[in-house]
Structure 1
Amino acid sequence: MGTPRLVSGVCDGGGSVGWVWMNSCTLGSPVLHISLIFWLLLASPGAWAAGYETCPPVKPGMLNVHLLPHTHDDVGWLKTVDQYYYGILNDIQHASVQYILDSVISSLLEDPTRRFIYVEMAFFSRWWKEQTNETKDTVRELVHQGRLEFVNGGWVMNDEAATHYGAIVDQMTLGLRFLQDTFGGSGRPRVAWHIDPFGHSREQASLFAQMGFDGFFLGRIDYQDKIVRQKKLKMEEVWRASASLKPPAADLFTGVLPNNYNPPKNLCWDVLCADKPMVEDPKSPEFNAVTMVNYFLELAYSQQKYYRTNHTVMTMGSDFQYENANMWFKNMDKLIRLVNQQQQVNGSRVHVLYSTPTCYLWELNKANLTWSVKEDDFFPYADGPHMFWTGYFSSRPALKRYERLSYNFLQVCNQLEALAGVAANLGSYGTGDSGPLNEAMAVLQHHDAVTGTARQNVADDYARQLAAGWGPCEVLVSNALSQLSYYKQNFSFCRELNISVCPVSQNSEHFQVTIYNPLGRKVDHMVRLPVGKGIFFVKDPDGKTVRNNVVMLPSSFGMKDQWELLFSASVPALGFSIYTVDKVSVQNSLQATSRKHRSHDRSQVLAIENEYIRATFDSSTGLLMKIENMEQKLSLPVSQGFFWYKASTGDEKSTQASGAYIFRPSHLKPFPVSRWAKVHMVKTALVQEVHQNFSAWCSQVVRLYPGQRHLELEWTVGPIPVEEHWGKEIISRFDTPMRTNGEFYTDSNGREILKRRRDRRPTWRLSQTEPVAGNYYPVSTRIYITDGHIQLAVVTDRSQGGSSLRDGSLELMVHRRLLEDDARGVGEPLTESGAGSTVRGRHFVLLSSVSDAAARHRLLAEEVVLAPQVVLAQAGSSLYSSRAVPRTQFSGLLRDLPPQVHLLTLARWGPKTLLLRLEHQFAATEDSGRNMSSPVTLNLQNLFRVFTITHLQETTLAANQPLTKSKASRLKWITNTGPTSYPPPSNLDPTSIILQPMEIRTFVVNIQ
């Protein structure tokens, strides 16, 4: 056994030459306090300030190979989150995160040169709570020394296609706050790490940059793109991730890892792998040390060819690896020692070391090179010909909608907790808590959750977590509304309004409706509540009678003869309005209501209209044929219908089938669900509707309310029939005569807009193998086409896949049911049954002139994402206090925010502190008609009604470090576009907060 010795403060395996038996700084299993003494003796000089100072030394003039020991732990996929953590159902997938972390910590203690990185706080925080104080101290020391490094640091490693930027910010904030509270600055990640998401959005990089990250490492990019990057030495670039924010605010150094995130071939030494271990005993018939070292040297040189510095990385780990960390580390110890010995044996110029992404990034920065700039994104992703991962943009649409609804409710919950204070948490309705929903929503951002790419039982568990999170938030909202309105009411939350089920409104003669508006501006909202047949009186907060209508629902909504009560509510900014509803009669109500419903006489013109929009339908087919914007005197022939792609099960070109991840239709042209629709028309003072029935499983209501500048299409699809024994992928398609030159536009996670070109990629030449799937892009909130004069936009109520496959056409995938697995690991076809088999959703269609189209669809998307929350209360309310004056209307703001400004976050941060995020929601040059792209100045000191801001600290986007500190410490990069620099810090004046286009400013505020 070799004796460890110290070289420059770092434990080295000894200086012997040739093939010898050594134990490179293995300390065995010492008692904890003895281990701490060894750390003090053996750690590198900067061991007390985790960060770049703790990085191991490299050797100039050599090829330094940075080994990155890591585990990739999916927060649900083939097993549920709990099953993965505890190691249950290992016959499905052998994985147990608790044992991984136990084993890694133990192995790190045996050798101070070893390093490890960890990512998912959803797992680590759970493990942390179970540890003794002694173990916690040990882990804190490892973190201080930089030997246990956190990268990314979010609650999960989120998806980048089906996620909304607000939910991404929330989940990152949750994880990074845990690290800050637990480890201080030593635990702050410097590097973002998205090794498994299936394509990468530009907005994600922008958000990471604004969170203060120094670099971003990716695993999956399109196989053709990767080949081009390797040839052009562009595997590492600076990503300029915003067209509006002034560089370097959204600049982020981005590197593509050489092997996705897996170990090099033949070098996987986990219990889950079958590769041979390092055998260095020359007497053994299994001796392979010479062969392995030579192979490694060849591998290192071949990998270096694609990168620009004398540093390269190898990801040593994969899915749920390191449950027996000793296997990995023991073999890597040998590899490092034996490879480095070749420097003295035969003059090798390769130096291998334990490292981390942060330390690798630090060496790249010190290289002082000039880097090229990337401005587009990494969508769509394909890992081979005919293998486009564009199906998951639309998979499990019911779960995608539930996630978006839950984001909406979480913001309502957070805001009311901030506005009502401690009474929201401890009130007459019990203990309210926003935490469970916050954590459940964070879990849903995982790249196998909101994507719809987990197994059915796991998807069910994700929905269970959301449902469980709603309960404590409902208590909190009830407490807060009572506190702010001075009413004690029997609150009821109708979670099934989307299928027109609400027992309170359906069974009560008298009830109250509280509508809470989470936006920073007043909204008018059409309330729709299921009721029994009858005549109703509705009164507004001032006791004035409000016009209402009772309309019959289309038969596709469920049972026949169902009714909904409609009335328009005006709700102040960040506040609520309370309306009262009284049922006064049932006599002749059926006759009075039904005369407003009629089937269409085909000899009549079929149209619905209000003061702004007119929609005309073909009298013979019942399909939409024209939209007119009467305000702007625009008219456009628009044909809309539903079609389905036959899902491929493999063919002579490729065995690839459509599945949860992959979209691959067997035909280029989709089949119509029906070429005509059975039509029923409803016209009342408050709504005009055309009910279209295309088939037994596909129907739609096209709707207009008074004052509405868009057309609402509410579609119901499912269960999708598969009796023909092939899968179907259902789309809603809009066809127009517009000349769009192969171009269309989609949003990036709900924020900035990106131009898409059919069969093109902005920075590399595409060899198109799938003309349909290869042109699909993620649509988080909106997609549009334009001919330069007019624009047709569709705003969605959830993330979907969309495209324009021919000029003037626009399509969105609304549902899919498949009978084959796509061989990407999930191991079961995407064929939902039960609640997820029938899906209802809405598309909001806008026809506008180009000059003000951006303002219209941005503001509409904001209203859709953060729709008013409707809470009902049965009769029997009482005053909260005998001396209180009841409050039937309330605004948390003293004045509305300007339309350019969005209140992204208002949430409790501490006992007397709040987290406040304000954003300018327009891009720098997108609005020419309403001047929405100008900077905005806000006075925060007298903005809120129920509290006063006494102190303001500006932070990074994730609120885990002061902004001035982040700007001063971020790594600077030289780009081929010229020098960039942060503006000097200015005094923070709460009376004059300026928001530039697309800027998000985050504050931790003290309040009184």
Structure 2
Amino acid sequence: TEPFQAWTGFYTSRSTLKGIARRASSLLYAGESFFTQYVQKHPESSICKCGALKQLQSLRWAVSEVQHHDGITGTESPKVKDMYMNNLMYGMFNVKKLMASIIFDMNNAKKNREVYSAVYNKDSGMPDVDQYVIVYNPLAWNITTFVTVSVSDMAMSVYDELGHSVPAQVQSPAESSSTYDLYILVEISGLSYRKYHVKALTGEQSAFIGRSVKYKRKDLTQANQQHQQLLPVVNNCYQVLFDQSTNLMHSITERETNQTVQLTQEFLEYHVNGDVTKGPISDNYLFAPNATAVPISKAVGLEVVFGNLMTEIRQYFYSNITAQDYSYAVYTRMYTVPEGYDGRLLCRSIEQEYSVGPLDFNREAVLRTSTNLNTKQLLYTDSNGYQIQKRPFKTYVNNTVARNYYPMVQTAYIEDDTTRLMLLAERAHGVSSQGNGQVEVMLHRRLWNNLQWDLDYNLTLNDSSVVRPVIWLILGSKAATNILYRTSGLVLEHRPVVMFGASPGDKPRLPRQLQQNSVHSSPVTLPPNLHLQTLSIPGWRYSSNHSEQVHNIHMGKQKQGDADFSRVLLRIRHLYEAGEDPVLSQPVMVNLKSLLNGLGSVKAVEERSLTGTWDVNALKRWKWKTAQYPSKGFFNITETTENCTVTVHPKEIRTFFVYFQSQ
């Protein structure tokens, strides 16, 4: 970063591609573990394993391709962006099709005249068709969350595999009039799936119906701060107040500690220069605002959909009190989980979805959250999605705003001595703290300039799209948020995969095999401080002995052949740093045979380097000069015992090849 060239714009450039890339990576993660379990549990399956692996490989390639330094940053030309998008969508389609085929095969669906699809079909909501929702949890934790499907009727009922009624809520969506949104509360074990029967039905077991209340649009220029009327929205964890004189958020109270933080949100735009003869410019890489951000809304509309399971607050931001169309929107969702369900993560996360765009030329849109926390303009972000770093505000002679922007891969937070406000995102953004108690997230950019180099490569970022990013807000003590944010971030990133099925007839067909697979199968479950980072069948044919593999290549003995389906790649990651939490930062012992018992009987385990290329026993790793190890040199550590019990230390990733007994 130079005085007039702050390379902080690319943190947000091409936000849509950033979101699709993250979703594709999440789907690949789910597809890998789903396919691995299928191969191990159903070795004589009817699906061609080589063809299935090629479907996975198409998404592996697309996800790898977009990691190029111009792809993940959004600094590629439009035609290259289109290539990334096409390859990602093609790979995602293949993996969704593969997962639907696996469901179809495992449940003998052909005999029951059932049809499974990864894509929702509105026709399946017809009265004479039984509609199924199949939900796969790709995480190695038991989760309780909501999935959303579109339905054609307000009177709906949802049942699980055993015919028990499932809590659900149906309501009119914010931006459609032809369908309704059905929120289904799902409770799924690690790496397992459940099947839910959705039926148009009224009665005692029908889904709750959300009740919409629309409030008068308020002129922000005429707001009366002396006579505030506050509208409360409450769940078991928070009370959020909205100021009815402005329709803006007023405060959040964390109910367990009764700690209240004054909090308001507004959209602003940075105006930037596009003429190189008039000063510094913004482009795909650079962020060079002319001045401080400008508020863009003079009126705010408010609608609240009250429900037993979820309350949604819809705020619409208008350029003036008489404008027909809103410029921006925020949809805030607060969840209430019934007794008998583990709703801790759902309750503690305030979900916000934004609608931003299309922007005018040379505008950069931010959402600024202002609080009464005395943060001293100190911001924390995860620069690489792995490690939290302090970001103190620094004053410069030139370009202070842009030079205080930092990358937010997933996490950012501000705090005072007692309370922390944490933001978790499902795509990368630029983030900054431009004032005490403030945090602002750049959501979208649309730029044009006449720099010849940018014109030659078509790098002017004329992005006229509407972006819809999602951010979760978590408010609480430092200790409480430390426990929550690691798991919450992964739950946000790896949401359940939803597939759909239908079969003719009035009664739900519940194949016995499906009940066994989804309800009675052995889940793969890790403690909350460990994450199953990889469970896949790479298909690699190279030797486990790296020296032998290199020798074979040099001698021309490396031949192409069928993929190796016997080798399973497993990675387990410890989520916490040493000293971060008194309990969760402790080393964890895991018995790999017990962990993977649901897939089959483990025959052998080889510990590998992070890439899987090297046998860990052949590595010579550096031992750094620290207080614990005062001398420098190489060292090896292997802790894999004969019964396959391993210890995972804070922030450690351990990688294994696992081989199962033939079934």
TM-score of Structure 1 vs Structure 2, range by shorter chain: 0.7 to 0.9
- How big is the shift at 1:972? 7.2
| SS of aligned partner of 1:839 | coil
Letter in 2 for 1:397: S
| SS of aligned partner of 1:997 | coil
2:13 is aligned, of 375, 390, 395, to 395
Question: In the alignment, is the contact (CA less than 8 A) between 2:530 and 2:574 conserved in 1?
Answer: yes
Question: In the alignment, is the contact (CA less than 8 A) between 2:191 and 2:523 conserved in 1?
Answer: no
Q: For residues 934 and 839 of structure 1, do their structure 2 counterparts lie closer, same or farther at Cα, with a shift above 3 Å needed?
A: same
- How big is the shift at 1:550? 1.5
Q: For residues 618 and 545 of structure 1, do their structure 2 counterparts lie closer, same or farther at Cα, with a shift above 3 Å needed?
A: same
Deviation by residue 1:503-551 (Cα, 9 ceiling, x = unmatched): 3666675310111001111111212111223311100232101232211
Return 837-846 or 874-883, whichever deviates more. 874-883
The aligned runs of 1:542-581 (5 Å cut-off) are 542-554=162-174, 557=175, 559-560=176-177, 562-581=179-198
> Structure 1 length as normaliser, TM-score?
0.56
Aligned to 2:373: 738
- How big is the shift at 1:852? 2.1
Deviation by residue 1:100-126 (Cα, 9 ceiling, x = unmatched): xxxxxxxxxxxxxxxxxxxxxxxxxxx
Q: Compare the two structures and name the one with the higher helix fraction.
A: 1
Question: In the alignment, is the contact (CA less than 8 A) between 1:768 and 1:774 conserved in 2?
Answer: no
Equivalences, count: 594
Larger Cα-atom Rg? 1
Does residue 661 of the first structure (1) align with residue 285 of the second (2)? yes
Does residue 934 of the first structure (1) align with residue 586 of the second (2)? yes
- Unaligned stretches of 5+ residues in structure 2: 219-227, 319-325, 337-342, 539-563
Question: In the alignment, is the contact (CA less than 8 A) between 1:487 and 1:880 conserved in 2?
Answer: no
Aligned to 1:827: 458
Question: In the alignment, is the contact (CA less than 8 A) between 1:429 and 1:475 conserved in 2?
Answer: no
Return 982-991 or 634-643, whichever deviates more. 982-991
Q: For residues 389 and 487 of structure 1, do their structure 2 counterparts lie closer, same or farther at Cα, with a shift above 3 Å needed?
A: same
> Structure 2 length as normaliser, TM-score?
0.83
The aligned runs of 1:573-612 (5 Å cut-off) are 573-584=190-201, 596-600=211-215, 605-612=230-237
Distance in 1 between the 2:565 and 2:517 partners? 28
Aligned to 1:901: 530
Aligned to 2:408: 779
Question: In the alignment, is the contact (CA less than 8 A) between 1:614 and 1:628 conserved in 2?
Answer: yes
Aligned to 1:671: 294
| SS of aligned partner of 1:549 | strand
Does residue 709 of the first structure (1) align with residue 357 of the second (2)? no
- Unaligned stretches of 5+ residues in structure 1: 1-381, 495-500, 761-766
1:751 is aligned, of 362, 376, 386, to 386
Distance in 2 between the 1:503 and 1:411 partners? 28
- How big is the shift at 1:426? 6.7
| SS of aligned partner of 2:131 | strand
- How big is the shift at 1:604? 6.1
Q: For residues 921 and 424 of structure 1, do their structure 2 counterparts lie closer, same or farther at Cα, with a shift above 3 Å needed?
A: farther
Letter in 1 for 2:481: A
| SS of aligned partner of 1:574 | coil
Distance in 2 between the 1:627 and 1:484 partners? 47
Q: For residues 829 and 693 of structure 1, do their structure 2 counterparts lie closer, same or farther at Cα, with a shift above 3 Å needed?
A: same
Q: CA RMSD in A?
A: 3.0
Identity of aligned residues (%): 26
Question: In the alignment, is the contact (CA less than 8 A) between 2:188 and 2:194 conserved in 1?
Answer: yes
Question: In the alignment, is the contact (CA less than 8 A) between 2:432 and 2:440 conserved in 1?
Answer: yes
Does residue 636 of the first structure (1) align with residue 261 of the second (2)? yes
Question: In the alignment, is the contact (CA less than 8 A) between 1:487 and 1:886 conserved in 2?
Answer: no
Distance in 1 between the 2:513 and 2:173 partners? 41
Distance in 1 between the 2:578 and 2:376 partners? 24
Aligned to 1:447: 69
- How big is the shift at 1:675? 4.2
- How big is the shift at 1:678? 0.3
Question: In the alignment, is the contact (CA less than 8 A) between 1:540 and 1:546 conserved in 2?
Answer: yes
Question: In the alignment, is the contact (CA less than 8 A) between 1:511 and 1:580 conserved in 2?
Answer: yes
Letter in 1 for 2:424: V
Distance in 1 between the 2:372 and 2:155 partners? 46
2:606 is aligned, of 936, 941, 953, to 953
The aligned runs of 1:397-476 (5 Å cut-off) are 397-421=15-39, 427=46, 431-432=51-52, 433-476=55-98
Q: For residues 891 and 646 of structure 1, do their structure 2 counterparts lie closer, same or farther at Cα, with a shift above 3 Å needed?
A: farther
Letter in 2 for 1:613: Y
- How big is the shift at 1:886? 4.3
Letter in 1 for 2:122: P
Deviation by residue 1:345-380 (Cα, 9 ceiling, x = unmatched): xxxxxxxxxxxxxxxxxxxxxxxxxxxxxxxxxxxx
Distance in 1 between the 2:280 and 2:432 partners? 21
The aligned runs of 1:756-835 (5 Å cut-off) are 756-759=391-394, 769-820=398-449, 825=454, 826-833=457-464
Question: In the alignment, is the contact (CA less than 8 A) between 2:11 and 2:407 conserved in 1?
Answer: yes
- How big is the shift at 1:655? 3.2
Aligned to 1:503: 122
Q: For residues 624 and 424 of structure 1, do their structure 2 counterparts lie closer, same or farther at Cα, with a shift above 3 Å needed?
A: farther
Deviation by residue 1:53-97 (Cα, 9 ceiling, x = unmatched): xxxxxxxxxxxxxxxxxxxxxxxxxxxxxxxxxxxxxxxxxxxxx
Distance in 2 between the 1:486 and 1:980 partners? 60
Distance in 2 between the 1:883 and 1:562 partners? 33
Q: For residues 865 and 883 of structure 1, do their structure 2 counterparts lie closer, same or farther at Cα, with a shift above 3 Å needed?
A: closer
The aligned runs of 1:720-735 (5 Å cut-off) are 720=359, 722=360, 726-735=361-370
- How big is the shift at 1:1001? 0.2
Aligned to 1:999: 652
Aligned to 1:136: none
Q: For residues 507 and 449 of structure 1, do their structure 2 counterparts lie closer, same or farther at Cα, with a shift above 3 Å needed?
A: farther
Distance in 2 between the 1:824 and 1:413 partners? 41
Q: For residues 853 and 755 of structure 1, do their structure 2 counterparts lie closer, same or farther at Cα, with a shift above 3 Å needed?
A: same
Letter in 1 for 2:59: L
Q: Compare the two structures and name the one with the higher strand fraction.
A: 2
Aligned to 2:307: 684
Does residue 849 of the first structure (1) align with residue 489 of the second (2)? no
- How big is the shift at 1:664? 1.1
2:159 is aligned, of 532, 539, 547, to 539
Q: For residues 504 and 447 of structure 1, do their structure 2 counterparts lie closer, same or farther at Cα, with a shift above 3 Å needed?
A: farther
Distance in 2 between the 1:821 and 1:633 partners? 54
Letter in 2 for 1:829: T
| SS of aligned partner of 1:887 | helix
Distance in 2 between the 1:984 and 1:472 partners? 41
Deviation by residue 1:742-798 (Cα, 9 ceiling, x = unmatched): 3110013222211111118xxxxxx55211110111111110011121100010110
| SS of aligned partner of 2:595 | coil
Deviation by residue 1:173-224 (Cα, 9 ceiling, x = unmatched): xxxxxxxxxxxxxxxxxxxxxxxxxxxxxxxxxxxxxxxxxxxxxxxxxxxx
- How big is the shift at 1:458? 1.4
Letter in 2 for 1:385: P
Does residue 874 of the first structure (1) align with residue 502 of the second (2)? yes
Question: In the alignment, is the contact (CA less than 8 A) between 2:152 and 2:180 conserved in 1?
Answer: yes
| SS of aligned partner of 1:469 | helix
- How big is the shift at 1:427? 3.8
Question: In the alignment, is the contact (CA less than 8 A) between 1:821 and 1:827 conserved in 2?
Answer: no
- How big is the shift at 1:938? 0.7
2:631 is aligned, of 948, 964, 979, to 979
Q: For residues 600 and 940 of structure 1, do their structure 2 counterparts lie closer, same or farther at Cα, with a shift above 3 Å needed?
A: same
- Which structure has more relative contact order (CA 8 Å, sep 6+)? It is 2
Distance in 1 between the 2:123 and 2:517 partners? 20
| SS of aligned partner of 1:961 | coil
Distance in 1 between the 2:495 and 2:375 partners? 32
2:242 is aligned, of 595, 617, 639, to 617
The aligned runs of 1:211-290 (5 Å cut-off) are none
| SS of aligned partner of 2:244 | coil
| SS of aligned partner of 1:392 | helix
- How big is the shift at 1:983? 5.0
Letter in 1 for 2:247: G
Return 599-608 or 859-868, whichever deviates more. 599-608
Return 792-801 or 882-891, whichever deviates more. 882-891
- How big is the shift at 1:719? 1.4
Question: In the alignment, is the contact (CA less than 8 A) between 2:623 and 2:635 conserved in 1?
Answer: no
